[in-house]
Amino acid sequence: MSGEPLIEVVDLRFRYEDGTAALNGVNFRLFNSETVALFGPNGSGKTTFALHLNGLLRGEGEVRICGLRLDKKNLATIRRKVGLLFQDPDEQLFMPSVLEDVAFGPLSAGVNPEEAFRRAREALAQVGMAHACERAPYHLSAGEKRRVALAGVLIMEPEVLVLDEPTTYLDPPAHRDLVALLERLPQAKVIATHDADLARAVANRAVFFERGRIVAEGPVEELIERFGWEACVAPRRRKDTGPAR
Amino acid sequence: MHHVVLEQWARRTGPVHALDPRVKLGVTLLFLAAIATTPRVSVAQFAAYAGLLAGVVLAAGLPLGGVALRACIVLPLAGAFAAVSWLAGEPHRGLTILLKSYLSVFAALVLVGTTPVARLFGGLRRLGVPASLVLILQFLYRYLFVISEQVQHMRLAAQSRGALNRAPRRYRLLAPAGAIAVLFARSYQRAEAVYRAMLARGFTGQIEAAAPLRLGAGDLLAGGAAAGMVLAVRFGF
More confident residue, B93 or A11: A11
Cα–Cα distance, A62 to A9 (Å, whole number) = 6
Pairing of strands A205-210, A35-39: parallel
Examine the pLDDT at A235 and tell me if it is beyond 80: no
Q: Which domains does chain A have, with CATH numbers?
A: 7-227 (3.40.50.300)
Residue among A42, A16, A9, A32 nearest A204 (CA): A32
Quick one: pLDDT at residue A125? 94
Give residue limits of the domains in chain B: 2-115+213-236, 131-200
Contact B145 A51 (CB under 8 A): no
Residues of chain B positioned with their CB less than 8 A from the CB of A94: 138-139, 142-143, 194, 197-198
pTM of the model: 0.75
How many beta-carbon contacts under 8 Å exist across A and B?
91
Per residue in A58-68, pLDDT tens?
999 999 999 99
Residues of A in contact with B212 (CB under 8 A): 113-114, 117
Distance CA A219, CA A207 (A): 9
* Structure confidence by residue, pLDDT tens digits, B122-141: 889 888 888 889 888 888 88
CB contact under 8 A, B209 and A90: no
CB neighbours of A184 closer than 8 A, spacing ≥ 6? Answer: none
Which pLDDT band holds residue A245 (cuts at 50, 70, 90)? very low
Give the Cα separation of B2 and A231 in Å (integer).
41
Residue pLDDT, tens place only, B136-145: 888 888 888 7
Q: How confident is the model at residue B7, as a pLDDT?
A: 83
Report which DSSP code applies to B210: P
Residue B1: predicted pLDDT: 47
